[in-house]
């Protein structure tokens, strides 16, 4: 019963150098292929976990960037919608005065496209951001 080890307080640093289970020194690893492989595998696992955390951090940074820039895109979308609505109203006024001019249809179509673009910009912004920043990963 005296040799019992409390595993809840163990970490790798306490095991490998001056550890509480059994101390592992560099001289113990000399010519010990299995121990060296274990350390390499452990190192590779730590690298994989680090890369995973880096990706997670990048995702969080991207989300924060979106939250910071979304009011700006909402303002731009509002301005685009406002201009599109003015163009639609102007073209409808032109059409009711004289139904034959083709430029009223062009202005109407351009206004409708502006309103559609402004409305979809807030929805599509996260996807556009991911598409433009795909090299970040």
pTM of the predicted model as reported, rounded to 2 decimal places? 0.52
Hey, what are 73's tokens? 């895109």
118-135 b/e with 16+ CB inside 10 Å = b?
A: beebeeebeeeeeeeeee
Q: Does some domain include residue 71?
A: yes
Summarised one tens digit per residue, pLDDT across range 51-107 is 999 999 988 988 888 788 788 888 989 999 999 999 999 998 888 888 777 788 889
Q: Does some domain include residue 22?
A: no
Q: What is the pLDDT of residue 20?
A: 57
Give the number of domains in the chain.
Answer: 1
Domain that holds residue 68: 56-136
Q: Does some domain include residue 13?
A: no
To the nearest 10 degrees (0 to 180), the angle between helices 103-132 and 33-97 is 170
Q: Does some domain include residue 41?
A: no
Q: Does some domain include residue 63?
A: yes
Q: Does some domain include residue 23?
A: no
Task: Tell me: pLDDT of 18 over 60.
Answer: no
Q: How far apart are the first and last CA of the chain?
A: 52
Summarised one tens digit per residue, pLDDT across range 22-59 is 666 778 778 888 888 888 888 888 899 999 999 999 88
Q: Does some domain include residue 117?
A: yes
């Amino acid at each position: 019963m005296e040799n019992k080890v409390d595993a809840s307080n163990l970490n790798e640093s306490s095991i490998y150098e001056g550890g509480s289970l059994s101390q592992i020194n560099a001289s113990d690893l000399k010519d010990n292929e299995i121990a060296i492989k274990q350390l390499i595998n452990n190192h590779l696992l730590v690298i994989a976990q680090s890369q995973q955390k880096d990706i997670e951090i990048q995702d969080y940074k991207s989300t924060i960037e979106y939250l910071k820039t979304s009011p700006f895109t909402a303002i731009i979308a509002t301005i685009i919608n406002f201009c599109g609505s003015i163009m639609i109203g102007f073209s409808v006024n032109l059409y009711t005065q004289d139904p034959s001019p083709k430029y009223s249809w062009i202005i109407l179509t351009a206004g409708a496209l502006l309103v559609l673009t402004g409305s979809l910009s807030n929805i599509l912004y996260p996807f556009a951001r991911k598409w433009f920043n795909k090299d970040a990963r």
